[in-house]
Structure 1
Amino acid sequence: MSLRPWRDITRRQSRQIMVGNVPVGGDAPITVQTMTNTPTPDIRATVDQIRRCEEAGADIIRVSCPDEESSAALRQITRAARVPIVADIHFHYKRALEAADNGAACLRINPGNIGSAARVAEVVRAAKANGCSIRIGVNAGSLEKDLLEKYGEPCPEALVESALDHIKLLQDADFHEYKVAVKASDLFLAVAAYQQLAEAVDCPLHLGITEAGGLIGGTVKSAIGIGSLLWFGIGDTIRVSLSAEPEEEVRVGYEMLKALGIRTRGVRVVSCPSCARQGFDVIRTVEALESRLQHISTPISLSVLGCVVNGPGEARETDIGVTGGGNGKHMIYLSGVTDHTIGDEAMIDHVVKLVEAKAAEIEAASAAATAQAAE
């Protein structure tokens, strides 16, 4: 999708690093991350959850390694995963060493929390030996005591100073394959910190509003915080932190990127809020379609409008559209053109089939174009 000038987003230019085989930063697509919440030593449950997140479109998945049993389990987990796995490390530097040896593509650490410069250097050696990148994770809830004493409370300057101190630890160890996050639950604090950090460094930035809340509240809060940063061109990878299943974090992340025209994946639904004019139950129809079309990864636009007031205009802008009509007959639009009508009972099944057929058509055309270019 091409953006009109007044929709253009000028992305901050960062250098690029690799998280496994996924590029982060530079001109690479903004990646969507999530984190498992199963006990890591329960390998089957963790891999099953990773698989659901992969199917939802996760580019990178983080797994917590709080103890030796968890970092040992990582060996099987990383082999089973189809996307790069980030090992979440807190306090104990040995877990980072074990995770690097057991296949982690990236280590999420707070260098200031894992001990002396010698220990940081040891983690760096393990990362280099295993081709790992590092994510520096600064959080307003766990700032160093000296910074809290200096600033009196968590503030943007404190978060940025913490990040720069941690960056220096890695640079002093001649390590440069890192990305940085400065997260806070207070979205104003987080946004201000990211804005300041973006001016101070050239590394990729990992965006997130931490402890954002449940599915609805956390989505709104994250959309305001992460969305505003993305709108200003800041951010190279995102994680939406929700008290919800991790695959929901992935879906919300993609919805943010789709809303800003940054990245497209799956079905983009345009639907009305419904009113007394609706010719069918818009709310239940959209719920059913969103659920049944989650398996579609090909970018497709679908409009679901309850009446003919705004319906035809919106339907002309989408790949597939349906508008409510009288006597239980509703108009189907294909590529913006009125095509045929469909009755109430068959409508949802019919629209699902149309979307699946359109996805197959787009995928076939893309494969043919790729084959032709290779000749």
Structure 2
Amino acid sequence: MPSRSIDPTVCIDAYTAISERFDYPLHLGVTHAGPRETGCIRSVIGIGTLLANGIGDTIRISYAGDPADEVRDGLEMLYCLGLRERHGAELIACPTCGRIQVDLFRLVQEVREKLATEIELPIKVAVMGCVVNGPGEAEGADVAVFAGDRRGIIYVQGQRVANVPEAEILDRLLDECRAFQDKVKAGTARLGEKVVQIVPPDPIGELGSGESLIARGRTTDLTINGSEGTAGG
């Protein structure tokens, strides 16, 4: 039984009322949702809220656009709600901020495209633009890269395995993803399991930052923005 509207709040109220009165299978959808940019948001609010509340039996994402996007976004919604087992990698990535020192957004898109064709297991892959928030935000990732001053440090299950220049991040990260997938298939590694907890890299000499010395209070002789540091012991 469908009950559709362009307004996701109307859909939520209508489907909720129907589910309380009748024991019929419910087909969820936000109709006339528009192009993907707006339709995705309307669908996530309407359909996602209902599914999270245990309402709905089938779904249909509707865009004025490529039907393949409807399928991809519908599957991602089900993955995120734990209603369908994920097929393929899950990508975690930073938003924009002033600490990013690599072309993160290009890197994320390239990683996403490669993972879609080369990784079939639900490996969590994190692409982080700095070592400040990266380790915490990447917690739970099987394979992760933390970028800094045109470099990237790559971790697998919490263990650091490589420190590479920006131009080599993509290839090395994918190599580690493929190798980890092979280990999982062979039974020598398990998804979501940490060998050790991620220890943030010491940026000095690796990612071009003085943050570790500042944190330890040893900033004497440290040049920051062209000025000699004087604090610390």
TM-score, normalised to structure 2's length?
A: 0.72
Structure 1 residue 339: deviation in Å?
Answer: 2.4
User: Please, which of 305, 319, 322 is the counterpart of residue 128 of structure 2?
Assistant: 305
Matches within 5 A, 1:75-154: none
- C-alpha deviations, 1:212-269, integer Å up to 9, x for none? 1112111111111111111111122222111222221122112222333333232221
Partner Cα separation in structure 1 for residue 74 and residue 179 of structure 2: 26
Structure 2 segments unaligned to the other structure (5+ residues)? 189-233
Q: Does 1:322 align with 2:145?
A: yes
Partner Cα separation in structure 2 for residue 361 and residue 207 of structure 1: 39
Q: Which one-letter code corresponds to 1:287 in the other structure? A: Q
| Aligned-partner SS, 2:2 | strand
Structure 1 residue 364: deviation in Å?
Answer: 4.6
Correspondence for 1:291: 113
Matches within 5 A, 1:27-106: none
| Aligned-partner SS, 2:101 | coil
| Aligned CA distance change for structure 1 residues 357 and 239 (closer, same or farther; 3 Å) | farther
Correspondence for 1:356: 178
Partner Cα separation in structure 1 for residue 68 and residue 179 of structure 2: 25
Structure 1 residue 365: deviation in Å?
Answer: 4.0
| Aligned-partner SS, 2:116 | coil
Partner Cα separation in structure 2 for residue 200 and residue 235 of structure 1: 14
Correspondence for 2:62: 241
Structure 1 residue 298: deviation in Å?
Answer: 2.0
Correspondence for 1:230: 51
TM-score, normalised to structure 1's length?
A: 0.46
Correspondence for 1:259: 80
Q: Which one-letter code corresponds to 2:130 in the other structure? A: C
Correspondence for 1:279: 101
Correspondence for 1:346: 168
- C-alpha deviations, 1:292-332, integer Å up to 9, x for none? 22233421111111001111122332011111123x22111
| Aligned-partner SS, 1:293 | helix
Q: Which one-letter code corresponds to 2:147 in the other structure? A: G
| Aligned-partner SS, 1:181 | coil
Tell whether the 8 Å contact from 1:315 to 1:333 is kept in structure 2 after alignment.
Answer: no
Correspondence for 2:200: none
Q: Which one-letter code corresponds to 2:45 in the other structure? A: I
Structure 1 segments unaligned to the other structure (5+ residues)? 1-179, 367-375
What is the aligned-residue RMSD (CA, Å)?
Answer: 2.1
Structure 1 residue 280: deviation in Å?
Answer: 1.2
How many aligned positions are there? 186
Partner Cα separation in structure 1 for residue 10 and residue 139 of structure 2: 42
- C-alpha deviations, 1:39-83, integer Å up to 9, x for none? xxxxxxxxxxxxxxxxxxxxxxxxxxxxxxxxxxxxxxxxxxxxx
Partner Cα separation in structure 1 for residue 104 and residue 92 of structure 2: 11
Q: Which one-letter code corresponds to 2:65 in the other structure? A: A
Structure ranking higher in helix proportion: 1
